[in-house]
Structure 1
Protein backbone atom coordinates (compact mmCIF):
# COMPACT_ATOMS: atom_id res chain seq x y z
CA UNK A 1 0.00 0.00 0.00
CA UNK A 2 1.44 3.34 -1.04
CA UNK A 3 1.74 6.12 1.51
CA UNK A 4 -0.82 8.89 1.16
CA UNK A 5 0.95 12.10 2.11
CA UNK A 6 -0.98 15.16 3.25
CA UNK A 7 0.36 18.70 3.63
CA UNK A 8 -1.70 20.50 6.29
CA UNK A 9 -1.34 24.28 6.54
CA UNK A 10 -3.22 25.49 9.63
CA UNK A 11 -2.11 28.13 12.14
CA UNK A 12 -4.59 27.17 14.88
CA UNK A 13 -2.62 24.86 17.17
CA UNK A 14 -5.64 23.01 18.53
CA UNK A 15 -7.24 22.36 15.13
CA UNK A 16 -3.92 21.53 13.47
CA UNK A 17 -2.90 19.02 16.12
CA UNK A 18 -6.36 17.41 16.11
CA UNK A 19 -6.49 17.06 12.31
CA UNK A 20 -2.94 15.70 12.13
CA UNK A 21 -3.49 13.12 14.87
CA UNK A 22 -6.84 11.94 13.53
CA UNK A 23 -5.66 11.64 9.94
CA UNK A 24 -2.53 9.77 11.03
CA UNK A 25 -4.79 7.32 12.90
CA UNK A 26 -6.47 6.70 9.56
CA UNK A 27 -3.16 5.83 7.93
CA UNK A 28 -2.18 9.12 6.28
CA UNK A 29 1.27 10.67 6.57
CA UNK A 30 0.70 14.30 7.59
CA UNK A 31 3.16 17.21 7.44
CA UNK A 32 1.75 20.15 9.41
CA UNK A 33 2.85 23.75 8.82
CA UNK A 34 1.71 26.82 10.74
CA UNK A 35 2.05 29.22 7.79
CA UNK A 36 2.34 29.18 4.04
CA UNK A 37 5.62 31.06 3.78
CA UNK A 38 7.88 29.39 1.17
CA UNK A 39 5.42 26.49 1.03
CA UNK A 40 6.53 25.68 -2.51
CA UNK A 41 9.56 23.99 -0.91
CA UNK A 42 7.29 21.55 0.97
CA UNK A 43 5.05 20.34 -1.87
CA UNK A 44 7.42 17.67 -3.20
CA UNK A 45 5.91 14.19 -2.81
CA UNK A 46 2.60 15.50 -1.42
CA UNK A 47 -0.69 13.97 -2.63
CA UNK A 48 -3.24 16.39 -1.12
CA UNK A 49 -2.96 19.86 0.47
CA UNK A 50 -5.35 20.90 3.27
CA UNK A 51 -5.15 24.69 3.45
CA UNK A 52 -6.68 27.09 5.96
CA UNK A 53 -7.70 30.44 4.48
CA UNK A 54 -7.02 32.60 7.57
CA UNK A 55 -3.24 32.38 7.94
CA UNK A 56 -0.67 34.80 9.38
CA UNK A 57 1.33 36.58 6.73
CA UNK A 58 0.23 35.22 3.37
CA UNK A 59 -3.46 34.36 3.36
CA UNK A 60 -4.73 31.01 2.12
CA UNK A 61 -5.90 32.38 -1.21
CA UNK A 62 -2.38 33.61 -2.03
CA UNK A 63 -0.74 30.42 -0.76
CA UNK A 64 -3.16 28.25 -2.73
CA UNK A 65 -2.51 30.12 -5.96
CA UNK A 66 1.25 29.74 -5.48
CA UNK A 67 0.87 26.03 -4.77
CA UNK A 68 -1.27 25.50 -7.85
CA UNK A 69 1.43 27.10 -10.00
CA UNK A 70 4.18 25.06 -8.35
CA UNK A 71 2.29 21.73 -8.44
CA UNK A 72 -0.81 21.95 -10.66
CA UNK A 73 -1.67 18.24 -10.31
CA UNK A 74 -1.80 18.24 -6.48
CA UNK A 75 -5.40 18.74 -5.28
CA UNK A 76 -6.08 21.47 -2.69
CA UNK A 77 -8.82 21.30 -0.07
CA UNK A 78 -9.61 24.63 1.59
CA UNK A 79 -10.65 24.92 5.23
CA UNK A 80 -12.43 28.06 6.34
CA UNK A 81 -14.82 29.51 8.89
CA UNK A 82 -16.08 31.71 6.06
CA UNK A 83 -19.33 30.39 4.62
CA UNK A 84 -20.09 33.28 2.25
CA UNK A 85 -20.66 32.32 -1.37
CA UNK A 86 -18.14 34.93 -2.58
CA UNK A 87 -15.38 33.38 -0.45
CA UNK A 88 -16.18 29.89 -1.77
CA UNK A 89 -16.20 31.11 -5.36
CA UNK A 90 -12.86 32.85 -4.88
CA UNK A 91 -11.34 29.74 -3.32
CA UNK A 92 -12.69 27.35 -5.93
CA UNK A 93 -10.99 29.30 -8.68
CA UNK A 94 -7.85 27.34 -7.76
CA UNK A 95 -8.89 24.82 -5.08
CA UNK A 96 -10.53 21.44 -5.69
CA UNK A 97 -12.81 21.40 -2.63
CA UNK A 98 -13.97 23.68 0.18
CA UNK A 99 -14.91 22.61 3.72
CA UNK A 100 -16.48 25.02 6.20
CA UNK A 101 -15.48 25.00 9.87
CA UNK A 102 -16.58 23.38 12.11
CA UNK A 103 -16.32 20.05 10.30
CA UNK A 104 -16.35 16.33 11.11
CA UNK A 105 -13.16 14.31 10.56
CA UNK A 106 -15.08 11.54 8.79
CA UNK A 107 -16.30 14.07 6.23
CA UNK A 108 -12.81 15.51 5.81
CA UNK A 109 -11.32 12.03 5.30
CA UNK A 110 -14.05 11.16 2.80
CA UNK A 111 -13.34 14.32 0.80
CA UNK A 112 -9.60 13.55 0.87
CA UNK A 113 -10.32 10.10 -0.57
CA UNK A 114 -12.39 11.64 -3.36
CA UNK A 115 -9.49 13.93 -4.24
CA UNK A 116 -7.01 11.04 -4.13
CA UNK A 117 -9.28 8.95 -6.33
CA UNK A 118 -9.55 11.76 -8.88
CA UNK A 119 -5.78 12.15 -8.94
CA UNK A 120 -5.20 8.39 -9.09
CA UNK A 121 -3.09 8.22 -5.92
CA UNK A 122 -2.74 5.69 -3.16
CA UNK A 123 -3.31 2.13 -4.38
CA UNK A 124 -1.57 -0.52 -6.49
CA UNK A 125 -3.14 -1.08 -9.91
CA UNK A 126 -4.38 -4.60 -9.06
CA UNK A 127 -5.71 -6.11 -5.85
CA UNK A 128 -6.56 -9.77 -5.15
CA UNK A 129 -9.60 -10.49 -2.96
CA UNK A 130 -10.14 -13.92 -1.48
CA UNK A 131 -8.88 -16.72 -3.70
CA UNK A 132 -10.55 -15.74 -6.94
CA UNK A 133 -11.42 -12.04 -7.38
CA UNK A 134 -8.99 -9.68 -9.12
CA UNK A 135 -9.74 -5.96 -9.11
CA UNK A 136 -7.98 -3.84 -11.72
CA UNK A 137 -8.25 -0.30 -10.35
CA UNK A 138 -6.52 1.26 -13.32
CA UNK A 139 -9.01 -0.28 -15.73
CA UNK A 140 -11.92 -0.19 -13.24
CA UNK A 141 -12.68 -3.86 -13.90
CA UNK A 142 -13.36 -6.88 -11.70
CA UNK A 143 -12.45 -10.43 -12.82
CA UNK A 144 -13.42 -13.83 -11.39
CA UNK A 145 -10.45 -16.15 -11.87
CA UNK A 146 -12.52 -19.26 -11.07
CA UNK A 147 -15.06 -18.69 -13.84
CA UNK A 148 -12.69 -16.83 -16.15
CA UNK A 149 -15.25 -14.08 -16.59
CA UNK A 150 -15.53 -10.41 -15.74
CA UNK A 151 -17.85 -9.35 -12.93
CA UNK A 152 -20.36 -6.69 -13.96
CA UNK A 153 -20.86 -4.13 -11.17
CA UNK A 154 -23.15 -1.12 -11.15
CA UNK A 155 -21.59 2.30 -10.62
CA UNK A 156 -22.54 2.43 -6.94
CA UNK A 157 -21.39 -1.16 -6.34
CA UNK A 158 -17.98 -0.35 -7.79
CA UNK A 159 -17.72 2.85 -5.74
CA UNK A 160 -18.53 0.94 -2.54
CA UNK A 161 -15.95 -1.74 -3.37
CA UNK A 162 -13.36 0.93 -4.17
CA UNK A 163 -14.14 2.64 -0.83
CA UNK A 164 -13.30 -0.61 0.97
CA UNK A 165 -10.10 -1.04 -1.03
CA UNK A 166 -8.96 2.45 -0.10
CA UNK A 167 -9.34 1.46 3.56
CA UNK A 168 -7.95 -2.11 3.54
CA UNK A 169 -8.54 -4.19 6.68
CA UNK A 170 -10.26 -1.18 8.29
CA UNK A 171 -13.74 -1.38 9.79
CA UNK A 172 -15.96 1.19 8.10
CA UNK A 173 -19.26 2.33 9.53
CA UNK A 174 -22.33 2.82 7.36
CA UNK A 175 -21.92 6.56 7.88
CA UNK A 176 -18.32 6.52 6.58
CA UNK A 177 -19.18 4.47 3.50
CA UNK A 178 -22.22 6.59 2.73
CA UNK A 179 -20.28 9.83 3.01
CA UNK A 180 -17.47 8.50 0.79
CA UNK A 181 -19.81 7.19 -1.93
CA UNK A 182 -22.81 9.52 -1.83
CA UNK A 183 -20.96 12.59 -0.43
CA UNK A 184 -23.82 13.40 1.94
CA UNK A 185 -24.77 12.49 5.53
CA UNK A 186 -26.20 9.04 6.14
CA UNK A 187 -29.86 8.89 7.19
CA UNK A 188 -30.27 6.35 9.97
CA UNK A 189 -32.45 3.45 8.86
CA UNK A 190 -31.78 3.83 5.14
CA UNK A 191 -31.48 0.32 3.65
CA UNK A 192 -29.88 1.29 0.33
CA UNK A 193 -26.32 0.53 1.48
CA UNK A 194 -27.19 -2.91 2.88
CA UNK A 195 -28.93 -3.76 -0.41
CA UNK A 196 -25.82 -2.78 -2.39
CA UNK A 197 -23.64 -4.83 -0.02
CA UNK A 198 -25.89 -7.86 -0.54
CA UNK A 199 -25.67 -7.51 -4.31
CA UNK A 200 -21.88 -7.15 -4.11
CA UNK A 201 -21.64 -10.34 -2.08
CA UNK A 202 -23.80 -12.19 -4.59
CA UNK A 203 -21.36 -11.18 -7.34
CA UNK A 204 -18.05 -11.54 -5.47
CA UNK A 205 -18.39 -14.24 -2.82
CA UNK A 206 -18.18 -17.95 -3.49
CA UNK A 207 -20.87 -18.34 -0.82
CA UNK A 208 -22.78 -15.08 -0.24
CA UNK A 209 -24.30 -16.55 2.93
CA UNK A 210 -20.82 -17.04 4.42
CA UNK A 211 -18.89 -14.03 3.07
CA UNK A 212 -15.11 -13.94 3.40
CA UNK A 213 -14.40 -10.85 1.26
CA UNK A 214 -16.90 -8.30 2.60
CA UNK A 215 -17.16 -9.08 6.29
CA UNK A 216 -19.80 -7.77 8.68
CA UNK A 217 -18.48 -6.53 12.01
CA UNK A 218 -21.56 -6.77 14.19
CA UNK A 219 -22.68 -3.49 15.69
CA UNK A 220 -20.02 -1.46 13.85
CA UNK A 221 -20.02 -1.90 10.07
CA UNK A 222 -18.05 -3.74 7.39
CA UNK A 223 -14.49 -4.41 6.31
CA UNK A 224 -12.61 -5.98 3.42
CA UNK A 225 -9.46 -7.92 4.22
CA UNK A 226 -6.58 -7.75 1.75
Structure 2
Protein backbone atom coordinates (compact mmCIF):
# COMPACT_ATOMS: atom_id res chain seq x y z
CA UNK A 1 0.00 0.00 0.00
CA UNK A 2 1.32 3.45 -0.89
CA UNK A 3 2.10 5.99 1.81
CA UNK A 4 -0.34 8.86 2.40
CA UNK A 5 1.21 12.32 2.53
CA UNK A 6 -0.33 15.48 3.95
CA UNK A 7 0.92 18.43 1.91
CA UNK A 8 0.27 21.96 3.22
CA UNK A 9 1.07 24.70 0.70
CA UNK A 10 -0.93 27.86 -0.06
CA UNK A 11 0.61 28.63 -3.47
CA UNK A 12 -1.69 27.01 -6.05
CA UNK A 13 0.90 26.64 -8.83
CA UNK A 14 3.54 25.09 -6.56
CA UNK A 15 0.91 22.94 -4.84
CA UNK A 16 -0.44 21.53 -8.09
CA UNK A 17 3.05 20.81 -9.42
CA UNK A 18 4.32 19.07 -6.28
CA UNK A 19 1.07 17.15 -5.70
CA UNK A 20 1.10 15.86 -9.28
CA UNK A 21 4.75 14.82 -8.99
CA UNK A 22 4.16 12.94 -5.75
CA UNK A 23 1.05 11.21 -7.09
CA UNK A 24 3.01 10.12 -10.16
CA UNK A 25 5.56 8.63 -7.75
CA UNK A 26 2.79 6.49 -6.28
CA UNK A 27 1.91 8.42 -3.12
CA UNK A 28 -1.57 9.33 -1.96
CA UNK A 29 -1.59 13.10 -1.40
CA UNK A 30 -3.89 15.25 0.72
CA UNK A 31 -3.30 18.89 -0.18
CA UNK A 32 -4.38 21.69 2.15
CA UNK A 33 -3.84 25.39 1.43
CA UNK A 34 -3.72 26.40 5.10
CA UNK A 35 -2.94 24.73 8.41
CA UNK A 36 -6.41 25.17 9.92
CA UNK A 37 -7.47 21.54 9.41
CA UNK A 38 -3.99 20.05 9.58
CA UNK A 39 -4.36 18.09 12.80
CA UNK A 40 -7.53 16.32 11.73
CA UNK A 41 -6.18 15.59 8.24
CA UNK A 42 -2.86 14.29 9.58
CA UNK A 43 -4.36 11.55 11.75
CA UNK A 44 -4.40 8.95 8.94
CA UNK A 45 -1.27 10.16 7.12
CA UNK A 46 2.25 8.73 7.12
CA UNK A 47 4.17 12.00 6.67
CA UNK A 48 3.57 15.78 6.54
CA UNK A 49 5.15 18.15 4.02
CA UNK A 50 4.71 21.62 5.48
CA UNK A 51 5.43 25.02 3.94
CA UNK A 52 6.58 27.65 6.44
CA UNK A 53 4.85 30.65 4.85
CA UNK A 54 1.13 30.04 5.23
CA UNK A 55 -1.89 32.32 5.62
CA UNK A 56 -3.13 32.48 9.20
CA UNK A 57 -1.08 30.10 11.31
CA UNK A 58 2.50 29.92 10.05
CA UNK A 59 4.21 26.61 9.37
CA UNK A 60 6.29 26.71 12.53
CA UNK A 61 3.13 26.95 14.68
CA UNK A 62 1.29 24.28 12.69
CA UNK A 63 4.30 21.95 12.84
CA UNK A 64 4.74 22.36 16.59
CA UNK A 65 1.07 21.54 17.18
CA UNK A 66 1.24 18.50 14.92
CA UNK A 67 4.37 17.17 16.63
CA UNK A 68 2.85 17.65 20.06
CA UNK A 69 -0.31 15.73 19.14
CA UNK A 70 1.30 13.16 16.81
CA UNK A 71 4.93 12.81 17.94
CA UNK A 72 5.69 9.78 15.71
CA UNK A 73 4.51 11.48 12.52
CA UNK A 74 7.47 12.65 10.35
CA UNK A 75 7.39 16.32 9.33
CA UNK A 76 9.33 17.74 6.39
CA UNK A 77 9.50 21.55 6.31
CA UNK A 78 9.69 23.53 3.07
CA UNK A 79 10.89 27.11 3.18
CA UNK A 80 12.48 29.85 1.11
CA UNK A 81 14.21 30.96 4.31
CA UNK A 82 17.85 29.91 4.29
CA UNK A 83 19.02 31.61 7.51
CA UNK A 84 20.52 29.20 10.03
CA UNK A 85 18.25 30.53 12.79
CA UNK A 86 15.15 29.60 10.76
CA UNK A 87 16.53 26.11 10.11
CA UNK A 88 17.35 25.59 13.78
CA UNK A 89 13.88 26.78 14.77
CA UNK A 90 12.28 24.39 12.30
CA UNK A 91 14.43 21.42 13.25
CA UNK A 92 13.35 21.72 16.89
CA UNK A 93 10.22 19.83 15.83
CA UNK A 94 10.64 18.88 12.14
CA UNK A 95 12.50 15.80 10.92
CA UNK A 96 13.95 17.48 7.83
CA UNK A 97 14.17 20.96 6.29
CA UNK A 98 14.29 21.59 2.53
CA UNK A 99 14.92 25.08 1.16
CA UNK A 100 13.17 26.45 -1.93
CA UNK A 101 13.72 26.18 -4.81
CA UNK A 102 14.19 22.41 -4.75
CA UNK A 103 14.25 19.67 -7.37
CA UNK A 104 11.20 17.37 -7.08
CA UNK A 105 13.46 14.29 -7.13
CA UNK A 106 15.32 15.63 -4.08
CA UNK A 107 11.99 16.05 -2.30
CA UNK A 108 11.00 12.48 -3.16
CA UNK A 109 14.34 11.15 -1.92
CA UNK A 110 13.98 13.04 1.39
CA UNK A 111 10.45 11.67 1.79
CA UNK A 112 11.62 8.09 1.21
CA UNK A 113 14.36 8.48 3.83
CA UNK A 114 11.87 9.72 6.44
CA UNK A 115 9.37 6.97 5.61
CA UNK A 116 12.05 4.28 5.91
CA UNK A 117 13.14 5.76 9.22
CA UNK A 118 9.57 5.68 10.53
CA UNK A 119 8.95 2.17 9.23
CA UNK A 120 6.21 3.07 6.75
CA UNK A 121 8.19 2.87 3.51
CA UNK A 122 7.22 0.37 0.85
CA UNK A 123 9.21 -2.89 0.95
CA UNK A 124 12.26 -3.04 -1.30
CA UNK A 125 10.99 -6.19 -3.03
CA UNK A 126 7.47 -6.83 -4.34
CA UNK A 127 6.28 -10.26 -5.48
CA UNK A 128 3.84 -10.24 -8.41
CA UNK A 129 2.90 -13.73 -9.62
CA UNK A 130 6.23 -15.24 -10.80
CA UNK A 131 8.11 -11.91 -10.71
CA UNK A 132 10.19 -10.28 -7.99
CA UNK A 133 10.34 -6.50 -8.47
CA UNK A 134 13.20 -4.58 -6.83
CA UNK A 135 12.00 -1.02 -7.33
CA UNK A 136 14.97 0.81 -5.84
CA UNK A 137 17.35 -1.17 -8.04
CA UNK A 138 15.15 -0.93 -11.17
CA UNK A 139 15.41 -4.71 -11.39
CA UNK A 140 12.93 -7.51 -12.09
CA UNK A 141 13.67 -11.22 -11.65
CA UNK A 142 11.65 -14.09 -13.10
CA UNK A 143 11.35 -16.64 -10.27
CA UNK A 144 10.60 -19.46 -12.75
CA UNK A 145 13.97 -19.12 -14.47
CA UNK A 146 15.98 -17.13 -11.92
CA UNK A 147 16.89 -14.71 -14.71
CA UNK A 148 16.65 -10.94 -14.71
CA UNK A 149 14.02 -9.46 -17.02
CA UNK A 150 15.46 -6.73 -19.24
CA UNK A 151 12.97 -3.92 -19.83
CA UNK A 152 13.38 -0.70 -21.75
CA UNK A 153 13.09 2.54 -19.78
CA UNK A 154 9.51 3.18 -20.92
CA UNK A 155 8.47 -0.43 -20.26
CA UNK A 156 9.82 -0.25 -16.72
CA UNK A 157 8.11 3.11 -16.08
CA UNK A 158 4.78 1.77 -17.32
CA UNK A 159 5.03 -1.37 -15.17
CA UNK A 160 6.25 0.59 -12.15
CA UNK A 161 3.37 3.07 -12.48
CA UNK A 162 0.84 0.22 -12.53
CA UNK A 163 2.55 -1.41 -9.52
CA UNK A 164 2.32 1.84 -7.56
CA UNK A 165 -1.42 1.75 -8.22
CA UNK A 166 -1.80 -1.96 -7.49
CA UNK A 167 -5.36 -3.31 -7.95
CA UNK A 168 -6.52 0.03 -9.36
CA UNK A 169 -7.81 0.42 -12.91
CA UNK A 170 -5.67 3.10 -14.52
CA UNK A 171 -6.89 4.78 -17.70
CA UNK A 172 -4.80 4.97 -20.85
CA UNK A 173 -4.71 8.74 -20.37
CA UNK A 174 -3.37 8.47 -16.80
CA UNK A 175 -0.64 6.00 -17.74
CA UNK A 176 0.46 7.85 -20.87
CA UNK A 177 0.59 11.26 -19.21
CA UNK A 178 2.49 9.87 -16.18
CA UNK A 179 5.09 8.05 -18.30
CA UNK A 180 5.50 10.36 -21.29
CA UNK A 181 4.66 13.65 -19.54
CA UNK A 182 2.47 14.72 -22.47
CA UNK A 183 -1.30 14.83 -23.08
CA UNK A 184 -2.75 11.59 -24.43
CA UNK A 185 -4.26 11.87 -27.92
CA UNK A 186 -7.31 9.70 -28.50
CA UNK A 187 -6.48 6.86 -30.87
CA UNK A 188 -2.75 6.92 -30.17
CA UNK A 189 -1.45 3.32 -30.21
CA UNK A 190 1.93 4.05 -28.56
CA UNK A 191 0.91 2.80 -25.10
CA UNK A 192 -0.79 -0.30 -26.50
CA UNK A 193 2.35 -1.25 -28.43
CA UNK A 194 4.54 -0.80 -25.33
CA UNK A 195 2.12 -2.91 -23.26
CA UNK A 196 2.29 -5.69 -25.89
CA UNK A 197 6.09 -5.78 -25.82
CA UNK A 198 6.08 -5.54 -22.02
CA UNK A 199 3.78 -8.56 -21.78
CA UNK A 200 6.10 -10.54 -24.06
CA UNK A 201 8.85 -10.06 -21.49
CA UNK A 202 6.98 -10.51 -18.18
CA UNK A 203 3.99 -12.81 -18.83
CA UNK A 204 4.18 -16.60 -18.88
CA UNK A 205 1.64 -16.55 -21.72
CA UNK A 206 1.54 -13.08 -23.34
CA UNK A 207 -1.66 -13.98 -25.23
CA UNK A 208 -3.36 -14.81 -21.91
CA UNK A 209 -1.81 -12.28 -19.50
CA UNK A 210 -2.00 -12.90 -15.75
CA UNK A 211 -0.13 -9.79 -14.60
CA UNK A 212 -1.25 -6.83 -16.72
CA UNK A 213 -5.01 -7.05 -17.15
CA UNK A 214 -6.78 -5.13 -19.93
CA UNK A 215 -9.97 -3.43 -18.77
CA UNK A 216 -11.75 -3.00 -22.07
CA UNK A 217 -12.61 0.56 -22.99
CA UNK A 218 -10.80 1.99 -19.94
CA UNK A 219 -7.18 0.97 -19.48
CA UNK A 220 -5.09 -1.52 -17.53
CA UNK A 221 -4.63 -2.98 -14.05
CA UNK A 222 -2.08 -5.09 -12.19
CA UNK A 223 -3.68 -7.31 -9.57
CA UNK A 224 -1.84 -8.25 -6.37
Tell me if the contact between 1:134 and 1:142 (Cα under 8 Å) persists in the aligned partners. Answer: yes
Q: What is the TM-score with the length of structure 1 in the denominator? A: 0.61
Instruction: Verify: 1:94 aligned to 2:101, yes or no.
Output: yes
Deviations 1:15-47 (A, max 9, x none): 9xxx9xxx8xx97263736249xxxxx8x9626
Q: How many residue pairs get matched?
A: 177
Distance in structure 2 (CA, Å) of the matches to 1:48 and 1:200: 35
Tell me if the contact between 1:171 and 1:223 (Cα under 8 Å) persists in the aligned partners. Answer: yes
Q: Indicate the residue corresponding to 1:186 in structure 2.
A: 184
Q: What is the TM-score with the length of structure 2 in the denominator? A: 0.61
Distance in structure 2 (CA, Å) of the matches to 1:216 and 1:48: 35
Instruction: Verify: 1:28 aligned to 2:24, yes or no.
Output: no
The structural deviation recorded for 1:56 is 5.2
Structure 1 gap segments, 5+ residues each: 37-41, 77-92, 98-112
Structure 2 gap segments, 5+ residues each: 37-41, 60-77, 116-120
The structural deviation recorded for 1:218 is 0.9
The structural deviation recorded for 1:212 is 1.0
SS at 1:94 equivalent: coil
Q: Indicate the residue corresponding to 1:64 in structure 2.
A: 79
Q: Indicate the residue corresponding to 1:109 in structure 2.
A: none
Matching residue within 129, 132, 135 for 2:133: 135
Alpha-carbon RMSD: 4.3
Distance in structure 2 (CA, Å) of the matches to 1:159 and 1:182: 9
The structural deviation recorded for 1:65 is 2.2
Q: Indicate the residue corresponding to 2:64 in structure 1.
A: none
Q: Indicate the residue corresponding to 2:156 in structure 1.
A: 158
Q: Indicate the residue corresponding to 2:203 in structure 1.
A: 205
